[in-house]
């Protein structure tokens, strides 16, 4: 069953296509990394796929009513500053809004999902802290927890591990991998190609708005693709801990 189908999705900024005729399908239980250099169109692609940005072509999610879409897909945008002086638990509980009538109190099931999300992101001890008084990395984890609490079949996250320390980056990707093993699907944009190679079962590589590779990390992170798209010389080394990605040089 497809959770998201894109057919020749195109986003224009002025006359220029920043997402250019992208088609793919996403099924259940996948952890998919969306990779590409700065400006490749990753954010634009995700926002258009969710119906948050005007586009041509078709996205199965963009066609849905917002209230229905919120039960199917959670979105974690790149901007992650929490401005409101409310508790961490209150922010995470916002993830339950699509599941309950306006103004209704949290049900026991809602509370269980909030608790599980806090636990998964290592935030149980932060539950009563003011969210706006946390560090940038802590706020990012709170917003990931809010998306987890939404408990949707699909989670779309734009650079969720940017600004996290190495332990929190790995812990977050493990949470995403566990979600995929439980049958959820996670589409996540990443700049860390090493972590992308280790944790994602599938990578989508964007270059100047076009989908230039779609496959396993070994199929996508080839010398040729890395040179053409990222303009780097790099090696992917197989180790007992999984694939390690080592950039070596910038190509002229």
Ligand X SMILES: Nc1ncnc2c1ncn2[C@@H]1O[C@H](COP(=O)(O)OP(=O)(O)OP(=O)(O)O)[C@@H](O)[C@H]1O
Nearer to ligand X, 44 or 172 (CB): 44
Token pair 């608790």 is found at 115
Q: How far apart, in whole angstroms, are the C-alpha atoms of residue 193 and residue 151?
A: 27
Q: Which is nearer to ligand X, 43 or 194 (CB)?
A: 43
Q: Please, what is the minimum distance in Å from the beta carbon of residue 162 to ligand X?
A: 9
Token pair, residue 175, equals 């949470």
User: Does 247 help bind ligand X (rule: CB under 6 A)?
Assistant: no
Asked if 18 is part of the footprint of ligand X (rule: CB under 6 A), the reply reads yes
Residues 56-95 that bind ligand X (CB under 6 A): none
Nearest-approach distance from CB 36 to ligand X, in angstroms: 5
| Count of residues of this chain found to bind ligand X when the rule CB under 6 A is applied | 10
Q: Among 17, 41, 95, 217, which residue interacts with ligand X (rule: CB under 6 A)?
A: 41
Element (H, E) at 159: none
By CB under 6 A, tell whether 231 contacts ligand X: no
CA-wise closest residue to 229 among 214, 242, 240: 214
Sheet strands (E) in 164-218: 185-189, 202-207, 210-215
40 binds ligand X (CB under 6 A): yes
Q: Does 42 bind ligand X (CB under 6 A)?
A: yes
Rounded distance between C-alpha atoms, residue 35 and residue 40, angstroms = 9
Q: How far is the CB of 28 from ligand X (least distance, A)?
A: 26
Q: Which 3 state secondary structure label does DSSP give 83? A: coil
Sequence-distant contacts of 210-214: CB under 8 A, at least 24 apart? 210/20, 210/21, 210/22, 211/22, 211/23, 211/24, 214/24
Of 3, 17, 22, 36, which lies in the binding site for ligand X, with binding defined by CB under 6 A?
A: 36
Quote the CA–CA distance of 156 and 147 in Å, as a whole number: 9
Q: Does 184 bind ligand X (CB under 6 A)?
A: no
Contact range with ligand X by CB under 6 A, out of 34-42, 99-107, 167-175, 223-231: 34-42
Where does this chain bind ligand X (CB under 6 A)?
Answer: 13, 18, 36, 38-44
């Amino acid at each position: 069953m497809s959770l998201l189908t894109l057919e020749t999705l195109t986003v224009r900024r002025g006359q220029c296509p920043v997402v250019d005729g992208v088609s793919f399908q996403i099924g259940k239980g996948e952890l998919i990394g969306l990779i590409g250099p700065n400006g490749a169109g990753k954010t634009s692609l995700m926002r258009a796929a969710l119906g948050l940005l005007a586009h041509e072509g078709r996205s199965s999610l963009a066609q849905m009513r917002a209230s229905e879409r919120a039960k199917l897909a959670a979105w974690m945008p790149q901007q992650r500053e929490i401005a409101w002086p409310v508790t961490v638990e209150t922010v995470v509980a916002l993830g339950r809004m699509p599941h309950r009538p306006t103004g209704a109190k949290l049900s026991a099931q809602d509370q269980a999902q909030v608790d599980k999300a806090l636990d998964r992101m290592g935030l149980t001890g932060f539950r009563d802290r003011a969210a706006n008084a946390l560090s940038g990395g802590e706020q990012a984890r709170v917003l990931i927890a809010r998306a987890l609490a939404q408990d949707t079949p699909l989670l779309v996250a734009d650079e969720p591990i940017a600004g996290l320390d190495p332990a929190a980056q790995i812990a977050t990707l493990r949470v995403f991998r566990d979600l995929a093993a439980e049958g959820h699907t996670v589409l996540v944009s990443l700049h860390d190609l090493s972590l992308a190679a280790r944790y994602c079962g599938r990578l989508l590589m964007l270059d100047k708005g076009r989908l230039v590779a779609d496959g396993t990390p070994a199929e996508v992170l080839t010398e040729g693709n890395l040179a053409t798209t990222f303009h780097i010389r790099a090696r992917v080394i197989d180790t007992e801990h999984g694939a390690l990605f080592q950039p070596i040089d910038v190509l002229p």
